[in-house]
Amino acid sequence: MLRVYTTLFKRLNQEIPYVVWKACHELQISLNGKGDIDLLVDLQYRELFKALVRAQGFLYAKFNALTFPFVEHFYGYDEETGQICHLHVYYKLITGETHIKAYHLTLENEIMGNRFLNSLNVYESSYRDQALIYSLRHYMKRASLIGFLFWAYERKDYLDEYAYICNGLTSSARSDSFPAENNLHSEFDFHRLDMGTGFSGYCNARDKVSCISGFRRFNAFEAAWKSLCNLGVRLFYKAFRVRKRPEKGLLLAVSGVDGSGKSSMVEELHGWFGRDFDVEVLHLGKPSPKFLTLPLRPLLFVYRIVKGQNRDNLDDSIDSSGVGTLKKKNGLIWAVRYVALAYERYRVASIALDLADKGKIVICDRYPSNSSGKMDSPRIGPCGSKLVEKMRSYEHQLYERVPKADGLIFLDVSREEAINRNRARIKKDKETDEVIAFRHKENQGLDFSARQVFFVDTNRDYDSVLKSLKSIAWECLLKGSNQ
């Protein structure tokens, strides 16, 4: 069991009436962070429960266009393993077809009353109640063509859950105490369920659900319309990989000198967050051109060819002794180039802030700095013409207007390690050792536009560095959500 769950359920057992009401066959796996946990929480304890899980480091997230009443999602972070875990919380038994959940089973009190503390120290619903809920959900899902297809696709998992409940019923039959049965237990006989995929199973389910029409939340027309709309939303989310969003998004930047592993860590964070949340990656070191700056790109390309200069080494000068000097340009061509770059960085950073305000997690590969003449900073030098001086002033204004990131992680690496990593890279027009050494020296002590700056030593093994970044990223996300 993840340590974050051990701590959480110890508190829940003492303070909050709850029960794991379905998918108990996978509870051990879910407690290890490999799946979500379906909790039914007493409605009267809703606010207390939310306060408790937030205090334990969990945050609330949802799909903006696909929500169900009395159903919420909470996500936590396990420091020890670096895993994100998921609580699927119900305050009422809203269930049915996956994309509509058209039923409210008013069995909360019965299920809560018959729960038992299992060997994992988690309250689980009785096997009789699991059998009843399984039977009801079995027919609900199979009573619509779309639901039947979903059921057939996930049939193996349903069969595994069926076997788990059967074993539980057999073992509990040896006990002296049995939960009292209601009419639904006899009407929906668990042991007589049709587990086949034939069309007769669909017809049988249509007949059975008429017995529980009183549990429906919608009439036939509403159910059909909502089912169609929600299916469309789900297909859209699937096609465009839309995930849930927390109440407050996150603008997180990753920066560092060459060889520190920026790109790799950005990619890792993207994949890690992207399994559960809506994530966007934006590049601010070399941002994509905007409408106003696009015409400059071919002109700069021609200029580089004429001057015989490499794009990546354009700003660094290394003399014959191997000593680096910073090129702070004050010519018109350079001024136009750097103002355009400042504008592009400002626009991308503004877009990033807007996305974060809408609940997205935005990870920026590099971020603007106010340390004039250094990496991702103003570069137009003084003593130029009046026009260049005006452009220099405007460049500084653009950098000052860049919105602050919620957090910025600076990956620190030794000069020797940066040089060794650069030598191992496969890259066209790769930087020389002298350029790497020069950039490492010049780009220390940067003044970034961020609310918090975290320095991470990357002269360690890859996994420990990644674990540090995950902890920092989660800390920043949690801080924003709790504000």
pLDDT of res. 330? 64
Whole-number average pLDDT of the chain: 88
Nearest to 95 by CA among 53, 141, 60, 154: 141
pLDDT of 90 above 70: yes
Q: Which two tokens stand for residue 403?
A: 């919105």
108-132 pLDDT per residue, tens: 999 999 999 999 999 999 999 999 9
Closest-CA residue to 476 (of 47, 72, 59, 7): 59
Can you tell me the distance from the alpha carbon of 443 to that of 420, in angstroms, rounded to the nearest whole number? 18
Tens digits of per-residue pLDDT, 413-456? Answer: 999 998 998 888 877 777 888 888 888 888 888 889 899 999 99
Question: Among 19-23, 25-29, 264-268, 324-328, which stretch is predicted with the lowest mean pLDDT?
Answer: 324-328
pLDDT, residue 188, reads 83
3-state DSSP of 149-201:
HHHHHCHHHHHHHHHHHHHHHHHHCCCCCCCCCCHHHHHCCHHHCCCCCCHHH
Given phi > 0 = left and psi -120 to 50 = alpha, else beta, which region is 58? beta
Asked whether 465 and 261 are in contact (CB, 8 A), the reply is yes
φ/ψ (deg, to 5) at 425: -75, 145
CATH of the structural domain 247-481, one choice from 1.10.1280.10, 2.40.10.340, 3.30.200.20, 3.40.50.300: 3.40.50.300
pLDDT at 428: 74
Can you tell me the distance from the alpha carbon of 265 to that of 465, in angstroms, rounded to the nearest whole number?
Answer: 9
Q: What is the pLDDT of residue 70?
A: 97
Alpha-carbon separation of residue 364 from 101, 294, 328, 361 (angstroms): 38, 21, 25, 10
Residue type, 89: V
pLDDT > 90 fraction of the chain, expressed in percent and rounded: 58
Give mean pLDDT, residues 197-211: 87
Each residue of 47-64: pLDDT tens digit?
999 999 999 999 999 998
Give yes or no for residue 318 having a pLDDT over 60: no
AA letter at 211: C
Is residue 364 within a helix (H) or strand (E), and if so which, with residue range?
strand 361-365
Say how far apart CA 361 and CA 478 lie, in whole Å.
Answer: 12
Return the structure tokens found at 384: 């130029």
pLDDT at 325 > cutoff 70: no
Which tokens belong to 446? 């940067």
Long-range contacts of 172-176 (CB under 8 A, 24+ apart): 172/126, 172/127, 172/128
Residue 245's beta-bridge partner residues? 62
395 contact partners, CB below 8 Å, separation of at least 6: 335, 338, 339, 342, 378, 379, 380
**Which SS3 state, helix, strand or coil, does residue 90 take?**
strand
Q: Is 144 helix (H, G, I), strand (E, B) or coil?
A: coil
What are 213-270's pLDDT values in tens digits?
889 999 888 888 888 888 898 888 888 888 999 999 999 999 998 889 999 999 999 9
Confidence at 136, pLDDT banded by 50, 70, 90: very high
Does position 202 have pLDDT exceeding 90, yes or no? no
Band (323; pLDDT cuts 50, 70, 90): very low
Q: What does the pLDDT read at residue 474? A: 97
Task: Give me the pLDDT at residue 324, please.
Answer: 39
Q: What is the pLDDT of residue 46?
A: 98
Number of Cβ atoms within 10 Å of the Cβ of 365: 20
